[in-house]
Amino acid sequence: MASDTMLSALNRYLRPLRRTHDAQSCGQCMGACELCGAEGVSTKMARASQSLLECCNGCIGSMGLIAEQVMRPRVSAPAEPRSHISGKGITGVDIMTKDEMELASDFNSRIRNAREHRGLSQEDLARKMNEKIGVIQKAENGIRPTDSLVNKFAKALDVRLFVESMSHGHTMVTSDSDRQMTISDAKKQIEKSPKNKIAKKKGRKIGVSRSGARSRR
């Protein structure tokens, strides 16, 4: 009973000297003994009179204390926020929609019609765009201009030259005239061909009997 009273009084006296342990403080470390006050000694956490104290090996051995392993939660450093940059490209066109637009196949006709509708000659349009007249002539002849020139044409003539690209899900067949058509159009064209008509006529002349033998009508 007297020893418990003495330990309680000693604990109250040495309580201000307690130190905060590192995370995962469970074994031996260098510090100050909270029982005898020795500093720079090897200490362990031990329970004395229902209190968990940082004790040196001398106090643990002389008082018959038992060292305990105390696991404290590890505090992780907060993750740095990642910067997210989103926006538009240099030309002002959204990167996600860039591949969804393409130059209209009749861009040359659109440029020519828009120019003539405004009563401009090729020379007038060249001066308005601050370009050479050869640039205007090439574009109206069907030679594809650069994207920057296409934008200049569209701004100067207030005409739409970029259109939505055709979906990759549609299967297209190209004819000899380089005109795009669907598979159903190609099938109809094959059915209308002269060779197919001759084959159908021959098929009508030749009949098939119930026994499976062919007979001419």
Q: What is the pLDDT of residues 140-176, one digit of tens each?
A: 999 999 999 999 999 999 999 999 877 544 444 444 4
- Residues of 118-150 as b/e, b for ≥16 C-beta within 10 angstroms? eebebeebbebbebeeebbeebbeeeebeeebb
**pLDDT one-digit tens code per residue, 33-49:** 888 888 888 888 887 76
Residue 208 CA neighbour count, 13 Å, CB half = 4
Which residue in 151, 149, 162, 158 sits closest to 105, CA to CA?
162
Residue 12 pLDDT greater than 60, yes or no:
yes
Looking at residue 164, its pLDDT comes to 86
Give Dmax (Cα) for the chain: 133
Identify each DSSP E strand in the chain by its residue range. Answer: 29-31, 41-48, 51-56, 101-103, 162-164, 172-174, 180-182, 206-208, 214-216
Q: What is the C-alpha to C-alpha distance for residues 149 and 142, in angstroms, rounded to an integer? A: 14
Q: Is pTM, for the whole model, over 0.75?
A: no
Distance of CA 173 to the CA centre of its chain: 34
Q: What is the C-alpha to C-alpha distance for residues 153 and 159, in angstroms, rounded to an integer? A: 8
Residue 18 pLDDT greater than 60, yes or no:
no
Residue 185 amino acid letter: D
Looking up tokens 């061909």 gives 193
CA distance between the termini of the chain: 130
102 vs 20: which has the higher pLDDT: 102
**Domains along the chain?**
10-63 (no CATH), 95-164 (1.10.260.40)
Looking at residue 28, its pLDDT comes to 54
